[in-house]
Amino acid sequence: MGKKTRKARDLKNLPPTLQQAAENASDNNPYCGMNAGNIVEPVPNLNQAGSEKVVKNENNAWIVLGRDRPASRITGYGGMGGTQCGSIDMVVGRMSAVKGGPKSNIFVDPNFETDAARIYISQKTNIDQNFDLVEGGVGISKAKSGIGIKADAVRIIGREGIKLVTGVDKNNSQGGKIKSTSGIDLIAGNDDSKQKIKGLGLFGKKIDFLQPMVKGDNLVDALIEITDQIGDLASRFDKFAKEQIKINSVAAVHVHPVAPLPKPTEPSIEMGSMVMDASIQQFVNCMATDWSQRLNLSNFKNNFLKPYGDRWICSRYNRTT
């Protein structure tokens, strides 16, 4: 959050005579500003273009009906003489972010960086360029209709829900066919850098800064399946270990007749046969378990962890930083 840098009542950029009059104004003065009444304050003038119809007041609030023009009169599609680029520029606080604040008796152009708050609507514009936005995954819009909203704090409130929806029409505002679905990017800090960040991924793997959002339900199902497979694998090995302990126990207590020394002990045919049969069976079981487990893991990866999977845990369209 930015620090507050100006006083609630700032008159320093007024001409000296008006500044003195405003500072000496009482509550009964019609220009003291109390109760949302009139007040004298510095307001710059607009370098108005010939096509523009301007509605303004004495408190630096403006509505400009014109043609696409994000800055000086030579900018935008209006500046290059383009057609079908009508615009509505609703702005308050021209020069607000300029050092020292707004000044009277000067002429300014629209400034999407230093003006306090703005809703800009244009029939044809380069909306990302106007507001100096990064490309993201959605890309840069050029020569299309656009709406930009900018202020220190922007809030969108819905008493019964908010939807951010893309891809509702078959054609764009220029009559061009929309051939693919564009998603939604949430980009903090206006940074979609493609640089890799080391150490955040598994085993120090480098990962992209802008990533797909995770689908919660699919992720839960994926984690449940992982835990189930781990449990199944553990139970199989537990069974294998119990069988091995059983064989070792039989071998430990098994005896058979031995001729007087120094004749070597005769091997137990029964014991050897049992161990051989058990080893073969355990080998077969292990091979079957290994094959089944590999197949399950392969299916899991393809289903949940690959973009072409039916239950891919990531969003195919929506990304965030």
Distance of CA 37 to the CA centre of its chain: 43
| CB of 156 closer than 8 Å to CB of 206 | no
| Residue recorded with tokens 């003038």 | 45
pLDDT (mean) for 82-102: 95
Q: pLDDT-derived band of residue 199, with 50, 70 and 90 as boundaries?
A: low
Interior CA angle at 154 toward 150 and 115, to 5°? 30
Residue 105 has pLDDT above 90, yes or no: no
Q: Tell me what the mean pLDDT of segment 139-146 comes to.
A: 96
Question: What tens digit of pLDDT does each residue of 31-72 get?
Answer: 666 677 777 888 999 999 999 999 999 999 999 999 999 999
Q: Which of 13-22, 49-58, 243-252 has the highest mean pLDDT?
A: 49-58
Residue of 158, 121, 126 lying closest to 139 (CA atoms): 126
Mean residue pLDDT of the chain comes to 80
Predicted structure pTM score: 0.74
If one compares 234 and 95, the residue with the highest pLDDT of the two is: 95
Segment 142-165 mean pLDDT: 95
